[in-house]
Amino acid sequence: MAKPKEKFKVWGDVFDEFTILTINKLINKNCLEALQSPISVGKEANVFSAVRGDGMVAVKIYRLETCDFNRMYDYIRADPRYIGLKRNRRHVIFSWCQREYRNLMKAREAGIRAPYPIGFLNNVLVSEFIGEEYPAPKLKDAIPKNIKSFAKTVFEYMKKFYNAGFVHTDLSEFNILNHNEKPVFIDFSQTTTLKNPNAEEYLKRDVHNMCKFFSKNGLEFDEEKILKEIKENNK
């Protein structure tokens, strides 16, 4: 059973009646059993841990009233998969959630370590919990012991995703987890296809963000060289 509404209130502004009904439907579909505790609070969504069987899952809930759906719309309307999407708050938010589910699948298919998507409905996404007893830390909070090897894997993942026809578009030390000294990419809601007219600009931004982070931690990379390597042999 989902926790009653009065207990949800302490966890932010995501638990309106509609969202609670959505969570209960996902419970009935065996995507989760009960929410546990907050993992993170973002601009558009909050992430919680939840119980499922003998393990844990992550539940991402997009805010229906306070998220910047205009910004979401500006990003998603350029994605060829969502051409014709109406500028309607709920339609945009639901499509944003569905988009993250689809992008997680594509990332996994491309050989990138990312949370396995379990299910979604409306503004709620359920995915694999990355961590053991506690959530794996973000890269910004847990610098790898072998940062050179970590960086190499990050750029390899970016190349694999590009070869599969996608760009993350929001890659940084905030959207990569350090799980047992290995990178796990998260937050794929902004991810788009290479057919998006802004794809190359987004790729350059992702490369810049990562090179800047690694530079702060003792590694120097040539951004143009990294870009070239990512694009090499693109099928």
How are beta strands 124-128 and 55-62 bridged, if at all? antiparallel
In degrees, to the nearest 5, what angle opens at C-alpha 68 toward C-alphas 66 and 73?
Answer: 135
Contact 167, 203 (CB under 8 A): yes
* Residues 189 and 117: beta-carbon distance below 8 Å: no
d(CA 10, CA 6) in angstroms, rounded, equals: 8
Look up 74 and say whether it is catalytic. Answer: no
d(CA 190, CA 220): 27
Q: Comparing C-alpha atoms, which of 9, 6, 8 is closest to residue 36?
A: 8
Residue 79 is among the residues annotated as catalytic for this protein: no
Catalytic member of 68, 141, 170, 206? 170
User: What's the CA gap between 126 and 117, in Å, rounded?
Assistant: 6
Q: What is the DSSP letter of 75?
A: H
CA neighbor of 209 nearest in space, from 146, 167, 164: 167
Catalytic residue among 16, 54, 79, 187: 187
In whole angstroms, give the CA distance from residue 101 to residue 152: 26
First to last CA, the chain: 47
Active site residues: 170, 187
